[in-house]
Amino acid sequence: MPIFHKNIKVYFSETGKGSSIVLLHGFLENKTMWNSTVSILSKNYRVICIDLLGHGKTESLGYIHTMEDQAKMVKAVLDSLRLRKYILVGHSMGGYIALSFSKLFPSNIKGLCLMNSTALPDSEEKKKNRDRGVIAVKQNHKTFIRIAIPMLFSEKNRTIFTEQIKDITNQALQISPQGIVAALEGMKIRKDQTSILKNAQFPILLIIGKQDPALEYTTLINQTKNTPVQIVEFPDGHMSYIENKNDLIQTLLKFGKQCF
């Protein structure tokens, strides 16, 4: 079902009853990435999944979708459902958006889970890679997608999960070049949010893939030093909801009990 936000349609789903968990997908994904997670979580919780700006069925707002733009859109959806308190779970870019949301609307948060994500801003090298990505998307966004998605899995899992990679790729190919560029530009200029890890008044969980090709393990661990952040480590890559599906669902159920 959609709502209108700044004259564009934003699509989301809600499943189940009870306390609310909001699931935010990552770059080149959409709300259906959470389907297997929702089927379990919704037995105990009201689960909201949102197609982020320029992804899934949700339209683009402009050339750049900042993490704050995305967070305000998420807030508009949750306000339309009259929700006041919820856990946010963000995968990768969804985690960046969840952090921006936590900065803007801290009183609404019961818990924050960063899944294969980081509170640190892009390094200079990463910013250059985003710029290269923008050029590649403008040249041929389909080639960009076909190269990018397999590289998010740990090396051994690129052959184990070939069907899932094909499915994610086919869905990502529906995203407009504008939506991809707007996300790359927005991620590139996102702020350092490590202060949230230190000062938040709600539980924070960081889920790490030890062989995540997109995020460096030591850097992820170091940002949590001298903070109350809980860490759960999985042995595989960036796509924990596929590579470590059952462990992820159990981790989220446990975190939900802790927060509510």
User: CA separation (Å) from 105 to 67, 83, 110, 119, 189?
Assistant: 13, 13, 11, 16, 20
pLDDT at 259 over 80: yes
Number of domains in the chain: 1
109 lies in which domain range?
A: 2-259
Mean pLDDT of 72-89: 98
| CATH for 228 | 3.40.50.1820
Band (36; pLDDT cuts 50, 70, 90): very high
If you average pLDDT over every residue of the chain, what do you get?
97
pTM higher than 0.75 for the full model?
yes
pLDDT at 1 over 90: no
CA atoms of 208 and 137, how far apart (whole Å): 28
38 neighbors 44 (Cβ within 8 angstroms): no
Mean pLDDT of 89-111: 98
Triad 9, 149, 248: Cα angle to 5°? 80
pLDDT tens digit sequence for 60-70: 999 999 999 99
pLDDT at 220 over 90: yes
Neighbours of 104 (CB within 10 A): 14
Neighbours of 94 (CB within 10 A): 30
Can you give the pLDDT at residue 229? Answer: 98
Give the closest residue to 153 by CA, choosing from 68, 211, 228: 211
> What are phi and psi for residue 93, nearest 5 degrees?
-60, -35
Could you give the strand order of the β-sheet that contains 20-24, starting from the edge strand earlier in sequence? 2-5, 8-15, 46-50, 20-24, 86-91, 109-115, 204-209, 230-234
pLDDT at 6 over 90: yes
Band (212; pLDDT cuts 50, 70, 90): very high
Evaluated on CA atoms 180, 162, 11, 193, the torsion sign reads negative
Instruction: With H, G, I as helix, E, B as strand and everything else as coil, classify residue 209.
Output: strand
pLDDT tens digit sequence for 145-203: 999 999 999 999 999 999 999 999 999 999 999 999 999 999 999 999 999 999 999 99
CA atoms of 64 and 246, how far apart (whole Å): 35
Per-residue DSSP letter, 114 = E
206 neighbors 229 (Cβ within 8 angstroms): yes
User: CA separation (Å) from 78 to 9, 71, 127, 177?
Assistant: 14, 11, 31, 27
Mean pLDDT of 242-256: 98
> What are phi and psi for residue 230, nearest 5 degrees?
-85, 145
CA atoms of 164 and 167, how far apart (whole Å): 5
pLDDT tens digit sequence for 41-62: 999 999 999 999 999 999 999 9
